[in-house]
Amino acid sequence: MPNVTYISPDGTETTLEARDGDSVMEIAVKNGVKGIVAECGGACSCATCHVYVDEAFVGAAGEVSDLEDDMLDGAESERLPVSRLSCQIKMCAELDGLKVRIAPKQ
């Protein structure tokens, strides 16, 4: 099973096992990771699961869809080139070891 590490704005790291196909947001919510609000439950309609993907995993995390791109434009925290909505990143073997920094404001 692949692992994903969440880095909170204060630097605290939480590493969790993930099942293939689960979104990075779903894993965080199921395990009580603070900072991932996920108001829309993963429908890509709120931008409250904004994360910064470690540069080593940007390619493996997949392309940003037009809808996700629009949502990121309205995110509360600064949008960076590595910004993603964690509900849109599906875990797989290629993402084993993924690290995401949780945006400071959701």
Q: What phi, psi does 55 have (nearest 5°)?
A: -55, -30
> What pLDDT shows up at residue 1?
92
The CATH architecture assigned to 3-102 reads Roll (3.10)
Q: CA 21: distance to chain centroid?
A: 14
Tens-place pLDDT, residues 49-97: 999 999 999 999 999 999 999 999 999 999 999 999 999 999 999 999 9
The token pair that represents 25 in the structure block:
């947001």
The pTM score is: 0.96
Please give the pLDDT value at position 100. Answer: 98
Looking at the DSSP bridge assignments, the partners of residue 85 are 50
Tell me what pLDDT residue 3 has.
98
pLDDT of the residue at 23: 98
Instruction: Judge whether 21 and 90 are in contact, CB under 8 Å.
Output: yes
Residue with tokens 């993402």: 95
* pLDDT at position 24: 98
Domain range list for the chain: 3-102
d(CA 101, CA 10): 10
State phi, psi for 101 to the nearest 5 degrees.
Answer: -95, 130
Residue type, 84: R
pLDDT tens digits for 8-49? 999 999 999 999 999 999 999 999 999 999 999 999 999 999
